[in-house]
A = this chain, B = another copy of it.
Amino acid sequence: MSIEEPTDWAPSSGPVVVVAACQVELAVGRPADNAEAVEEAVREAAALGAQLVVVPELATSGYVFESVAEARSLAEPLDGDTVTRWTALARDLGLVVVGGLAELAGDELFNVSVIVDASGLRAAYRKVHLWDAEPDFFAAGEARPPVVDTAVGRVSTVVCYDLEFPEWTRLPGLDDADVLAVPTNWPAEPSRMSPTPAEVVKAQSTAMVNRMAVVCADRCGTERGVSWLGGSAVIGADGRLLAGPSAMAVPAVHVAEVDLGLSRDKRTGPRNHPLHDRRPHLYS
């Protein structure tokens, strides 16, 4: 009848996987240079033991497009150079890559995150919630975040502004994702929240309320007058900052061990579980 926890209760632990969030400086309109910068970061992550590596949103195209024609010229199909190169990296280095690119699909462009392993493209997710001028360039996705069984656990992905809709990130939680990989391009607000940026606070809460690790890979540097936050972080399923964010928005590879046991045994106390305790019939 007491709220004290039985001393024999504790959340499960393990397996542990090594996860990297790559914070990269990119430039719109220079896809070859961007691809090289991303590959360098992935190789650095691998050298640090990473088994799952997340890179930013629109990692090869850049973000601040000047025209639809420019955006289109920087987009590519899902069997194009970027996925081909990331597949080769995944195979060479024995890891899973999640990252963003501009997808050209017929006449439409999508802001996509792909999950790639040694076998190739495992899933492509089209950003559903578009920020600012993005609707001028991209069509919005309509499909639920995928959850892919990989060698390093069940991996899901959304893109940047999607993270601000807890109804949306709840879906991979309910679909038993271990890790949510979030390629982002977070503009640095003039009034950055300190010590933890607002965007990262939202990611921590997403992790906690779903008991699901969250990995955000952001950009740094400046592109056509827009500065990027550099808020890349690896966040445990209990909301803790395991690696990142950087105090300064500089290139970085943040690597941490992530305990998937916390995602798989979601209990937060002897009688509580954040998904089983939901009362969805009351939520509308």
Task: Pick the 3 closest A-B CB pairs, nearest first.
Answer: A205-B205, A166-B166, A167-B283
A198-B238 in contact given A187-B3, A282-B168 (Cβ < 8 Å): yes
Residues of B close to A133: CB separation below 8 A: 1-3, 271
- Is A195 an interface residue when CB atoms closer than 8 A count as contact? yes
List residues of A (143-198) whose CB comes within 8 Å of B's CBs: 144, 161, 164-168, 170-171, 187, 193, 195-196, 198
The number of chain A residues touching the other chain, given as a range, is 35 or more
Residues of B close to A64: CB separation below 8 A: 2-4
- Could you tell me if B3 and A63 are in contact, using CB atoms closer than 8 angstroms? yes
- Is A142 an interface residue when CB atoms closer than 8 A count as contact? yes
- Could you tell me if A128 and B167 are in contact, using CB atoms closer than 8 angstroms? no
List the interface of chain A (C-beta within 8 A of B). Answer: 1-5, 63-68, 128-129, 131-136, 140, 142, 144, 161, 164-168, 170-171, 187, 193, 195-196, 198, 201-202, 204-206, 208-209, 224-226, 238-240, 269-272, 274, 277-280, 282-283
Distance of A238 Cα from B224 Cα, bound (Å): 27
- Could you tell me if A132 and B271 are in contact, using CB atoms closer than 8 angstroms? yes
Shortest C-beta distance, A85 to chain B (Å), equals 27
A226-B282 in contact given A201-B239, A202-B205, A209-B202 (Cβ < 8 Å): no
17 contacts between A and B (CB under 8 A): A1-B133, A1-B136, A2-B64, A4-B226, A5-B132, A142-B282, A161-B277, A165-B209, A166-B170, A166-B209, A168-B283, A170-B283, A193-B239, A201-B239, A202-B205, A202-B208, A202-B209
Shortest C-beta distance, A70 to chain B (Å), equals 9
Kindly identify which residue among B2, B63, B193, B272 contacts A240, using a CB–CB cutoff of 8 Å. B193
Residues of B close to A271: CB separation below 8 A: 132-133, 135
Distance of A196 Cα from B240 Cα, bound (Å): 10
A283 (CB) vs chain B CBs: closest residue: B167
Distance of A129 Cα from B66 Cα, bound (Å): 49
Kindly identify which residue among B198, B226, B278 contacts A167, using a CB–CB cutoff of 8 Å. B278
- Could you tell me if A224 and B187 are in contact, using CB atoms closer than 8 angstroms? no
A197 (CB) vs chain B CBs: closest residue: B239
A281 (CB) vs chain B CBs: closest residue: B142
- Could you tell me if A280 and B167 are in contact, using CB atoms closer than 8 angstroms? yes
A65 (CB) vs chain B CBs: closest residue: B1
Distance of A274 Cα from B198 Cα, bound (Å): 14
Known contacts A1-B65, A165-B209; 20 additional CB pairs below 8 A are A1-B67, A2-B64, A2-B66, A3-B132, A3-B187, A128-B279, A128-B282, A129-B277, A129-B279, A135-B271, A168-B279, A168-B283, A196-B201, A198-B208, A201-B201, A201-B205, A202-B208, A202-B209, A205-B205, A205-B206
